[in-house]
Amino acid sequence: MAGIGAGAGGRSGARPGSGPGPASRVTGANLLALRSHNAALLLDLLRRAGRMGISRLELAERTGLTPQAVSKITARLRDDGMVTEAGRQASTGGKPRTVLRLVPEAGHAVGLHLDRDELRVVLVDLTGAVAGERRAALDLGAGAEAVLGAVVAEIGEVVAGSAAGRSGAVPGPDAAARTAVLGVGVAMPGPLDHTHGVLHRVTGFPEWDGFPLRDELARRLGVPVVLDKDTNAAALGLAVGGEVGAFAYLHLGTGLGAGLVLGGAVHRGARTGAGEFGHQVIQLDGPPCSCGNRGCVEALCLAAVARGDVDEAARVLGEGAANLVWLLDIDLILLGGRTVAAEPERFVRGVGAALDAHAQRAGAGSPVPVRVASGEARAVAEGAAQLLLAPLFGRAEA
């Protein structure tokens, strides 16, 4: 559980790995925490309602708060410029409900996707819509100084090009605050430690081992920075983008990894190690894998792809996915990555067939659906930006 946060303001975002807390450090709640909890709850519902908006009374019904409480809270949010009135609904015999809408420009976040050979930066608004984007080639082997320099430069370009330009177009009380960048979310291939923002053993680039990327970037940029694995960021983006329940995002590219969303939150584990789906053994004493073990899903799956046997690759992937579905009672499997994008239908069909077979044997109800994840190319960068937006909407651990 998460619980409702500590007393601190709540808008700050990232906080340094604090406290000696053994295991789960649950904190007491005061009135400030209560206030920000409820505000975040309403903001989350407003975000989900999107451009359509939502009325005060529906907010009250969905949260269990009294209509008067919703009025008070939304009034504060309006004063802060985060919410605005936007028309009315049709009357049902009395005064029509006023529709409230999130103000997208009330805040922005930067998402950075660092891949082995490429860098992608997006600037998104509160609703997650992309307001600016840049791509650049990248060589992780060029060293920290060169890479960080490029990253800072690209981020500066995107922010300057979009937020500043838009600042004039949206006048109003404190226009500067409205375009404020809440911070930067960084997503990259593991292994890494999201709680301390430190890299571990970046494959093929020993110089990055133990590099405190989060703190270093935060120092150079002067805004909060959050670090996470690429698959976790993608999963978070999908969860925010509307996918509900517990699901797994399986990413098949040059490797095979997963992002897990359980109970509405990304499950990372204490060492950000969760989601190591590819090195699940599904064939005891099978063919050797690059990890040193034998019979890993990744090895079997990629070997089949290399042979051109997509159906077998999909079947193997499906068997691994079935193990995961049974172990965690997952509602949905989403597929992504370059290899899947090359033959989406065959992968969906093959994985789905394996899952259906499992479900039928067990006599379980409806089989678990399989789909291709949306927004492939920018998904990780957009999800990275959500690492910063999530706390605003009450997803402290999401």
What gap in Å lies between CA 134 and CA 152, rounded to an integer?
12
| Nearest residue to 137 (alpha-carbon basis) of 115, 155, 166 | 115
| 284 contacts its own copies (rule: CB under 8 A) | yes
Segment 17 to 56, residues that bind its own copies, using CB under 8 A: 22-24, 26-31, 33-34, 37-38, 41, 44
Among residues 31 and 284, whose Cβ is nearest to DNA?
31
Q: Is 251 in the site for its own copies (CB under 8 A)?
A: no
Cβ proximity to DNA: between 53 and 189 the closer is 53
Shortest distance (Å) from residue 309 CB to its own copies:
14
CA–CA distance, 104 with 273 (Å, rounded to integer): 34
User: Do residues 130 and 166 make contact, with C-beta atoms less than 8 angstroms apart?
Assistant: no
**Cβ neighbours for 329, distance < 8 A, ≥ 6 positions apart:** 246
Choose the contact partner of 150 out of its own copies, DNA, none; CB within 5 to 8 A by kind: none
Residue 102 exposure: Cα atoms within 13 Å on the Cβ side = 26
Contacted entry of its own copies, DNA, none for residue 274, CB cut-off 5 to 8 Å set by kind: its own copies
Residue among 8 and 291 whose Cβ is closer to DNA: 8
Residue 75, binding choice from DNA, its own copies, none, Cβ under 5 to 8 Å by partner class: DNA
Residues binding its own copies: number (CB under 8 A): 78
The helix (H) or strand (E) run that includes residue 88 is strand 83-88
Angle at CA 158, nearest 5°, toward 239 and 372?
A: 30
The residue among 43 and 248 lying less far from DNA, judged by its C-beta, is 43
Instruction: Tell me whether residue 110 or residue 234 sits nearer to its own copies (CB atom).
Output: 234
Residues paired with residue 119 on neighbouring β-strands, in sequence order: 114, 136
Give the Cα separation of 111 and 94 in Å (integer).
45
Q: How far is the CB of 342 from its own copies (least distance, A)?
A: 24
Cβ neighbours for 33, distance < 8 A, ≥ 6 positions apart: 4, 5, 6, 7, 10
Site for DNA in 35-74 (CB under 7 A): 35, 38, 55-57, 65-69, 71-73
Which one-letter DSSP state was computed for residue 76? H
148: tokens are 């960080």
d(CA 317, CA 21): 38
d(CA 314, CA 317): 5
CB of 279 to DNA, least distance (A): 45
CB of 62 to its own copies, least distance (A): 8
d(CA 116, CA 204): 10
Q: Stretches 24-32, 43-51, 233-241, 353-361: which one binds DNA (CB under 7 A)?
A: 24-32
Residue 16 interacting with its own copies (CB under 8 A):
no
Rank residues 132 and 320 by Cβ distance to its own copies and give the closer one: 320
Q: How far apart are CA 259 and CA 228, in angstroms?
A: 11
User: Cβ distance 155 to 109 under 8 Å?
Assistant: no
One character per residue 192-221, x = contact with its own copies (rule: CB under 8 A): ---------x--------------------
Would you say 162 or 232 has its CB closer to its own copies?
232
Query: Mask 74-103, x = binds DNA (CB under 7 A)?
Result: -x------------x--xxxxxxxx-----
Q: Which is nearer to its own copies, 148 or 357 (CB)?
A: 357
Binding footprint of DNA on the chain (CB under 7 A): 7, 28-32, 34-35, 38, 55-57, 65-69, 71-73, 75, 88, 91-98
